[in-house]
Amino acid sequence: MWKIRRGVLTLILESSRSSYPDEFGAFLRAKHRIIYEIVLLPGTVSGSSSVVYNLMMKPIDFTIVGSVHSHPSGVPLPSQADLDMFSRTGDIHLIVAYPFNFDSWKAYNRFGEEIDVKVID
Ligand SMILES: [Zn+2]
């Protein structure tokens, strides 16, 4: 089972809030299936519709396990573009939706199927 450190999730939620109404996006770094860091790259940080496109340009870095991006719309469901990106960029993908709190995010695998991620301290 995947896990994420609470501090990392808090940083994601805060970054999504400060990017609002634009999208926020980043890659996820993990060790032993524990997400411990987000990786910000130029062009992936915020913007309107280009964030998911930019996430397609994943660097060759085997510590990067997937992606996170925000949905200012408030609906944490993947779009077709999201599903294309998920299938290419890793095994775990988070979508955080407005209002960006601990109840407004979901996690998906590379097939776009919802998965459980445990928040750990
Ligand atoms: Zn999306």
Sequence-distant (6+) residues with CB within 8 A of 34 are 2, 3, 4, 5, 120
Of 59 and 111, the one with more pLDDT: 111
Instruction: Report the share of the chain in percent with pLDDT over 70.
Output: 93
pLDDT at 62: 87
> CA 90, 121, 71, 74: dihedral to nearest 10 degrees?
140
pLDDT tens-place string over residues 88-98: 999 999 999 99
pLDDT tens-place string over residues 33-79: 999 999 987 665 565 567 888 888 887 888 999 999 999 999 999 99
pLDDT at 80: 95
Cα gap 29→67, rounded to integer Å? 9
Interval between CA 65 and ligand 1 midpoint (Å): 17
Domain span at 45 = 2-120
Residue 102: count other Cβ atoms within 10 Å of its Cβ.
11
CATH number at residue 102: 3.40.140.10
Give the E-state strand segments of 40-88 in sequence order. 46-47, 64-71
Interval between CA 73 and ligand 1 midpoint (Å): 10
Cα gap 121→7, rounded to integer Å? 8
Contact present, 94 and 109 (Cβ < 8 Å): no
pLDDT at 15: 95
Domain count, the chain: 1
18 pLDDT above the threshold of 80: yes
Catalytic (active-site) positions? 23
Interval between CA 12 and ligand 1 midpoint (Å): 15
